[in-house]
Amino acid sequence: MYTSPFFTLQSKKLFFFFFPLSLSMHHLLPFFLFLFFLLSISLSTSSLQFREAPQFYNSPSCSSVSTVHVAMTLDSAYLRGSIAAIHSVLQHSSCPESVQFHFIVSSSVENLNSTIRATFPSLSFEIYKFDESRVSGLISVSVRKALDKPLNYARSYLPILLPDSVRKIVYLDSDLVLVDDIARLASTPLPDGIALAAPQYCKANFTSYFTPKFWSDPSLSNTFRGRNPCYFNTGVMVMDLSLWRANNYTHQIEQWMKLQKKLHLYNLGSLPPFLLVFAGNIAGVDHRWNQHGLGGDNYRGLCRNLHPGKVSLLHWSGKGKPWVRIDAGRPCPLDALWKPYDLLLRPSSAIDDV
């Protein structure tokens, strides 16, 4: 039987496949679909190229400054946003060389280290692999598919993933940019017994984050007894990792996720478990540090305006992401504030990479 070669590109390597010439196109269709799947995976992780960011230096007053630790997740889908966020942190920091990044990646994603190193040659960073199997069995279906990715839950495991020497950290989502010095956010005081600080939004309808079943069952809703819970967004947090480790908050979050699988207590991804464990027991941060919701809601992602007040951080939480809307030629007015931090050079073609 005669065979004919077919090749696909994966991580700058050519993979050859052989199929019988006698087979009909009907039989070959699943084969070609499989090849298309492999090619799409390859392009998703290698189709973006970024220009090298400028070098940022410490000012003379930084000699006695403590290191600011920043944690972020990295994946191929949000890499462009992550690059812009890192760029914004460095550009507005008075001591950029004193910022240490800690990147959490999926165990299935490769080449992110080389991309970060090529874009920010002098950046101080470490990469940690997150074992998705630890959380994948605990995830319930939410209102938006992007919220169900295991890496979205990695922020709950920072005290486990990072070394014990890292005691305090700023966690940042990938769909934001800073326009202020991150050292100011990192210096947020955490009172004794408080493991987390974030902007709180007490005018939001807190009851809407949980189902009627939750509120009608005192054994569940009484978790908030003695607390004055308010909504907070988990995309910007200052975390005391030492206290978190001592109180094993990761285990508490996991226990709520297990109950959610059985009882359906909420509809929104990784946020409600944080609210269940921490709401009403966190340190407040000025709202200027999380002008969130710029990506619209979780369904349509419509344009939104800034909240009243000063701005130190712009956050495109919600369905709409600025790089997607810009590329589609349908940007929202505030997406122009994200664009200056975009370091995308050009999409690379498969031919260029061979």
Contact by Cβ (8 Å): 177, 337: yes
Q: 30-77 pLDDT, tens per residue?
A: 444 444 443 444 444 457 899 999 999 998 899 889 999 999 999 988
Q: Give the pLDDT of residue 256.
A: 97
Q: What are phi and psi of 71, to 5 degrees?
A: -110, 140
Measured CA to CA, the distance from residue 338 to residue 303 in angstroms comes to 14
Q: Above 80 in pLDDT, residue 13?
A: no
Cα→Cα distances 245→68, 169, 189, 249, 272, Å: 19, 13, 18, 7, 20
For 163-186, what is the mean pLDDT?
Answer: 98
Q: What are phi and psi of 290, to 5 degrees?
A: -160, 80
**Higher-confidence residue: 12 or 298?**
298
Q: Above 60 in pLDDT, residue 15?
A: no
Q: Which amino acid is at 80?
A: R
Q: Above 70 in pLDDT, residue 136?
A: yes
Q: What is the pTM for the complete model shown?
A: 0.84
* Banded model confidence at residue 140, pLDDT cuts 50, 70, 90: confident
Which residue's entry shows tokens 């308010």? 230
| Residue 309 DSSP SS3 | coil
Q: 314-333 pLDDT, tens per residue?
A: 999 988 999 999 999 999 99
| pLDDT averaged over every residue in the chain | 86
Return the minimum-mean-pLDDT range out of 69-83, 120-134, 270-284, 335-349.
Answer: 335-349
Measured CA to CA, the distance from residue 219 to residue 93 in angstroms comes to 46
> Please, what is the angle between helix 79-92 and helix 112-119, to 10°?
30
